[in-house]
Structure 1
Amino acid sequence: MKTLIKHAIVAGPNGFTGDLLIEDGRIAAMGSHLATPADATVIEAAGATVMPGLVDVHVHFREPGFTQKETIKTGAAAAAHGGYTTVVAMPNLDPVPDNVTDLTALVAKNASDAMIHVEQFAAITTGLRSTDLTDYAAMKAAGALGFSNDGVGVQDAATMYHAMQGAAAVDAPIVAHIEDNGLVNHGVINAGPKAQALGLPGINHVSESAQLARDLTLAEATGVHYHACHISTKQSIELIRDAKKRGVNVTAEATPHHLLLDDGHIPGDDAMFKMNPPLRSEMDRLALMDGLLDGTIDMIATDHAPHTAAEKTGSFKDAAFGIVGSETAFALLYTSFVRSGWCTLNQLIDWMSTKPAAAFGLDAGRIAIGAPADLTLVDLDHAYQIDDATWLSKGHNSPFIGHTVYGKVLATLAAGQLAYQEEGTL
Structure 2
Amino acid sequence: MVQSERADVVIVGAGIIGLSTAFRLQQAGRKVTLIDKAGIAQGASFGNAAAFAFSDVLPLSAKGMLAKVPGWLLDPLGPLSIRPTYFPTILPWLVRFWRAGWRDKCEASIAAQVALMELASSEMASLTQAAGTAHMVRSNGSLELYESEAEFNASLSGWSVRERHGIDFEHVRGNQLSQLQPGLAPRFIAGTIVPRWQTVAEPYEFACALGEAVIGQGASLLTQTVAAVHPTEGGVTITMDDGNTLNAEQAVIACGAWSKALTTGLGENLPLDTERGYNTTLPAGAFDLQRQLIFGGHGFVVTPLDQGIRIGGAVELGGLELKPNYARADAMLNKAAEFMPGLNTAGGKQWMGFRPSMPDSLPVIARSKASPNIVYAFGHGHLGLTQSAATGRLVTDLLQHQPTPIDIAPFRADRF
> Which bin holds the TM-score, normalised by the shorter protein?
under 0.3
| Highest RCO, 1 vs 2 (Cα 8 Å, sep ≥ 6) | 2
**More strand, by proportion:** 2
Q: TM-score, normalised by structure 2?
A: 0.23
